[in-house]
Structure 1
Amino acid sequence: MTDEMFFEDYAVGTARETTGRTITEADVVLHAGQTGDFYPHHMDAEWCKTQPFGARMAHGTLVFSVGVGMTAGAINPHAMSYGYDRLRFVRPVFLNDTIRARVRVKDVRDDAKRPKHGIVVEALEVVNQRNETVLVAEHLLLVERREARTG
């Protein structure tokens, strides 16, 4: 599936929301194995009971990866991810929480280095089943223009 959009096609305020995805024990264990992050916050249920949060929580990087992955849908051959700014883990995500992602075009701006491209900034918000924000970030896309900017 493709969604061919040039820089000029993006409009500030355009938004979309994903369906939910429940974070499971398997997700946490697999992510720990892939990253080497076996901190007790994620792996030790008994230790977590002694902490203010009271239960095992998913890795912030897992929530980020799943949240971003849920927003990826159609392939746009004119755009690519340029990076993420202002990433914050606002609240913990616990095992069996269900998250979904919201994306809103926050800004469209010229790219000073590349006259054939522009930058689209998407505000990403991941929320849990109680509609509480658990993660925020800005996703920067490098997007091709229909015609190169002059001057």
Structure 2
Amino acid sequence: MFTKFLEQYQIGESWLSKGRTITEADLVMFSAFSGDWFPLHTDKEYASRTLFKQRIAHGMLVLSAATGLFQFEPGVVVAFYGMEHVRFTNPTFIGDTIHLEVKIIDNQEKDNGRGVITALQEIKKQTGETVVVATIKLMVNKSPNH
């Protein structure tokens, strides 16, 4: 998705990523890395007594895993610029397969041959349910010929 120079993006253009299945190992490794051992993510018995009836993936794990589904082109993408309006709208369970649906909603030229692309990001699972929605921003270069 983020493989083109600034002036090549059109408002409304969209992209669909490949999928990635969230595993129990993902939850364990994310807990170890982040220090977030909240029982809703790590304790099967505790989670069985919640409204979800089972363990759910950390919201930040889902966001992090989704980052790996983007396509970034070195020399085009300068940096991740920010994220706004993040909402975790449905649970992601062990065994769910997530994918990204991304739509360009803004394209702003900045200075020094760069600009910011703004996109609506929806992370969805195999059921079609949206599990995370956010507005993301990436700083990208303009074409060297522009």
Moved more, 77-86 or 54-63: 77-86
From 104, 114, 119, give the equivalent of 1:117: 114
Q: How many Å apart are 1:19 and its aligned residue?
A: 1.7
Q: How many Å apart are 1:119 and its aligned residue?
A: 1.3
Specify the structure having the higher radius of gyration (Cα): 1
Aligned residue type for 1:127: K
Query: For residues 16-44 of structure 1, what are the alpha-carbon distances to aligned partners after superposition, in whole Å with 9 as ceiling and x for unaligned?
Result: 11121110010000000000000001001
Listed as ranges, the matches of 1:80-91 within 5 Å are 80=78, 81-91=80-90
Gaps of 5+ in 1: none
* Separation (CA, whole Å) in 1 of partners of 2:76 and 2:58: 32
Listed as ranges, the matches of 1:1-151 within 5 Å are 3=3, 5-71=4-70, 73-80=71-78, 81-111=80-110, 114=111, 116-146=113-143
Query: For residues 42-101 of structure 1, what are the alpha-carbon distances to aligned partners after superposition, in whole Å with 9 as ceiling and x for unaligned?
Result: 001101111111100000001001112111x24141323212111111111011111111
Equivalent residues, number: 143
* Separation (CA, whole Å) in 2 of partners of 1:91 and 1:82: 26
Gaps of 5+ in 2: none
Tell me the C-alpha RMSD between the 2 structures: 1.9
Relative to the length of structure 2, the TM-score reads 0.89
* Separation (CA, whole Å) in 1 of partners of 2:7 and 2:109: 11
* Separation (CA, whole Å) in 2 of partners of 1:42 and 1:34: 14
Aligned residue type for 2:124: V
